[in-house]
Amino acid sequence: MKKTIALALCALLAAACASKAPAPATSAESGGEKKTFVVGYSQSNNAEPYRAQLNLQLQHFMKQYQDIELLPIADARQSSATQVSQVQNFITQKVDALIVSPTEPAPLTAAVQQACDAKIPVIILDRTVNTDCYTAFIGGDNVLIGRKAGEEAVKLLPDGGNIVELRGILSNQPQIDRDKGFREAIAANPKIKIIADREAKWLKEQATPIMQQWLAQHPDIDLVYGHNDPMALGAYLAAKAAGKAEQIRFLGIDGLAIPDGGIRAVQLGQLSATFIYPTGAKEAAETVNKILHGQQVEKEQVLGTTQVTKDNAADLYKQFDLSGQN
């Protein structure tokens, strides 16, 4: 009997949650004429290569849908206040669908709720918010990716060693999860220590001077774990300038197929490995199209990862490169 009651309660809760999200559109026709759907996207920060690439990919894949117009992408520049304003502006414009990559979860929650209340379908891309009133979430498993990076660190340092960790914005959930998974994995070898960690806000230019300080303070760094490739490469540049790059291993995350991205860095031997963090752009475009045409979508779409090594880097670059040059 208890099991029956529990199942019934789960069904009621599921129905209640589903009822919070806006219903998808049911027709592309308006007044007998074919309708063009308008989609707004608020990006957290265009300055990060990962997000710039995400923007390009989203524009690329969205063009495949002739009746969907993607408005100019709004850049929040790592400001939650700016991003809240952008989301509210899209709501005022009455867009047909909204995509948001939140800078921070808490400040954006109310704005996403406002869009939901306005019956605008919302896709949360990459980073979470503190409400379930959205239509779909698309993103990677950052704990898993952090754990895989930690497992690689254990392989690279079988006899133990000292690690420094370059973190993203401390309030960002991906940063929290990438740190969590990594620390769980390196616990397999008690001789591995994290001797320093600092916020570098996902940016190469912030990571380089931090690494310069660490090199002066810690002559025995064995491995750098960057929460993304730009920070890992910023540390690599500092180590190279100090003549210590050959002594240190570098791990990153993102694995972008661009000339200065992580896959190429692995090919060049600058990074020992990186882990592809899918942009979700293709999935976001597909999901928007389905929503606007009244089709059902998965509410939680968690994307997988692939470790990039010297052995598979060339093939992965060709697979993910959208420049048309391969």
Task: Tell me the domains of the chain and their CATH numbers.
Answer: 37-139+279-302 (3.40.50.2300), 142-276 (3.40.50.2300)
Q: Which pLDDT band holds residue 322 (cuts at 50, 70, 90)?
A: confident
Which residue type is seen at 138? I
CB of 232 closer than 8 Å to CB of 252: yes
Tokens of residue 321, six digits: 């490169």
pLDDT tens digit sequence for 264-321: 999 999 999 999 999 999 999 999 999 999 999 999 999 999 999 999 999 999 988 8
Distance CA 241, CA 109 (A): 43
- The CA-atom distances, in angstroms, between 237 and each of 114, 145, 224 are 44, 24, 12
Distance CA 63, CA 193 (A): 48
pLDDT tens digit sequence for 105-127: 899 999 999 999 999 999 999 88
- Looking at residue 197, the DSSP 8-state letter turns out to be E
pLDDT tens digit sequence for 145-201: 999 999 999 999 999 999 999 999 898 888 999 999 999 999 999 999 999 999 999
Rg (CA), the chain: 21
pLDDT at 9 over 50: no
